[in-house]
Structure 1
Amino acid sequence: MPEISQLSLLLDHLNSWSLYASPLSPPVTLTLILFAALTSALSAAVGVGGGTLLIIVMAQVMPVGALIPVHGMVQLGSNGGRMAMTWRHIDWQRFLAFLPGVALGAMVASWVLIRLPAGILELCIAAFVLLSCWGPDLPKRALTATGTLIAGAVTTFLSSLIGASGPLVASFIKQGGGERHDKVATFAACMVAQHLTKAFVFGMAGFVFRDWLGLIMLMIVAGLIGTRIGLLFLDKVSNHNFEGLFKWSLTLLALRLAWMGVASLSAG
């Protein structure tokens, strides 16, 4: 039948395209591109959460060795776009206090990274997500300039190990006062600095970014579109009704990821 022939031809083209654009299958690639747009829109609209959700989705379908560097470059593009669109609202004092810690955390992470056995990364991601969802708020003394520098170091180190330290970074930004747009813009700037270090850390560890460049670029473009859409709803979207569902969704995905980590450790 003509319809079946056309469908078969379309699938052949999609498979050929996938070989060049991504090491993953076409359905998985398209799913990740869609989630890149959706999670960027989420981060732009509610200030945080998109990067954590994206890495948990990616962890279900990607090799562990590629997970954090690919996620980092995608988030660099997404947060870079958000930073460019909101740069007038950045709290530069807090951002500049954050930068020295970023450099320190990246140096430590480059030494520790290659010493982790299989399964530890999955368990670290799962534990961090559960802590961000259900852990206590930060004390006020952690929000000083010194506390912000320490936060930059600790979260950058964790980011290279668990991929998505956004909720912890956002807790400093959100609890530090300021208007909603200021928090979103400053958070994006801090995450740009943090994700930028991953090119160095994982490059030194031997990760070949070129193999994943097609997927990274497609997800960045989708993320920029999602960011633009999310910013349109920044003043209209409320976190109140969404928070419970979002936390439980992350919790269930984190528990599954923890199970994968335990299985990897047991197999090892």
Structure 2
Amino acid sequence: MPANSADIPYLASLLDGLAQYFPLSLPIVIALILLAAATSALSAAVGVGGGTLLIMIMAQLMPATALIPVHGMVQLGSNGGRMAMTWRHIDMRRLLAFLPGVALGALVAAWVLIRLPEGVLELSIALFVLFTCWGPPLPKRALSRTGTLIAGAITTFLSSLIGASGPLVASFIKQGGGERHTKVATFAACMVAQHLTKAFIFGMAGFLFHEWLPLIVLMIGAGLIGTRLGLRFLDRVSNRHFDGLFKWALSLLALRLAWLGSVSLISH
């Protein structure tokens, strides 16, 4: 049924009214909400990749100054929902060893500003992820409580610099073994801890979260829906098939980082 011509000014007024609550245009807001649902479904189904894909696209649609803090809060909600839905499968021993490292990495990130030559960071992460996927297993010492604490500190610090440390954390979780639900749940819990620190770090730096709050809330809500859909797929796939998907998803993300790092090094 076609809209009455009298309704058009009302609709335009309604859209203008909604637009005032967002720092971006409504088409971009809608695109980001749908994207949050899709990427959350990806992370829940395959174990990794959603956060990295999300920040790649967000970087094309929003100001650079808001990218990492807004992405961090959206990922906090998405991973928090996934953690709540899978909490029975969390490897608490590994998580408790990871948490002190998160606190240490966050403190360093809050007070120390460091910038390696462009490309070095991306290439280093890519090489490590590819090594953990296709190389020999990490030594037991690297997977010990101390090794896990160090991994938590390093990845939390890097997360504040590049925004998405998911592939690095996931590659470490992968080496720890366990079935598919354990990997997804433990990874989500570790990422919740990391993204919580961003609220502190960027709040201390003066970022105005309230200006972006409506968008963040809507993206988190969409992410919860996507997580539920992705977990349905996870329930149906076998551990063997999941491990293959997990490894290839990590490898593709690592190759993308390697490409970006190489381009940055060559161009500078």
Could you tell me how far 1:48 is from its partner in structure 2? Answer: 0.8
Range with greater deviation from structure 2 (55-64 or 246-255): 246-255
Residue 137 of structure 1 aligns with which residue?
132
Contact 2:126 2:258 in 1 (8 A): no
Query: Structure 2: which amino acid aligns with 1:136?
Result: F
Could you tell me how far 1:134 is from its partner in structure 2? Answer: 7.0
* Residues 1:233 and 2:228 are matched in the alignment: no
Q: Given the superposition, is the C-alpha separation of residues 34 and 7 from structure 1 closer, same or farther in structure 2, using an over 3 Å criterion?
A: farther
Root mean square deviation of aligned Cα: 3.4
CA distance in structure 2 between the partners assigned to 1:257 and 1:11 by the alignment: 45
Query: Structure 1: which amino acid aligns with 2:79?
Result: N
Equivalences, count: 257
In structure 2, runs of 5+ residues without a counterpart are: none
CA distance in structure 1 between the partners assigned to 2:252 and 2:6 by the alignment: 44
CA distance in structure 2 between the partners assigned to 1:251 and 1:171 by the alignment: 14
In structure 1, runs of 5+ residues without a counterpart are: none
What's the CA shift string for 1:78-124, capped at 9, x where partnerless?
111111111111000000000000000001111235x769x96xx68
Could you tell me how far 1:249 is from its partner in structure 2? Answer: 8.2
Could you tell me how far 1:254 is from its partner in structure 2? Answer: 8.5
* Residues 1:60 and 2:60 are matched in the alignment: yes
Secondary structure of 2:172's partner? helix
CA distance in structure 2 between the partners assigned to 1:173 and 1:110 by the alignment: 25
Contact 2:44 2:234 in 1 (8 A): yes
Could you tell me how far 1:131 is from its partner in structure 2? Answer: 1.2
Residue 100 of structure 1 aligns with which residue?
100
Identity of aligned residues (%): 63
CA distance in structure 1 between the partners assigned to 2:156 and 2:43 by the alignment: 19
* Residues 1:71 and 2:71 are matched in the alignment: yes
Residue 174 of structure 2 aligns with which residue?
174
CA distance in structure 1 between the partners assigned to 2:250 and 2:8 by the alignment: 37
Contact 1:45 1:230 in 2 (8 A): yes
CA distance in structure 2 between the partners assigned to 1:128 and 1:8 by the alignment: 53
Residue 31 of structure 2 aligns with which residue?
31
Contact 1:74 1:216 in 2 (8 A): yes
Residue 153 of structure 1 aligns with which residue?
153
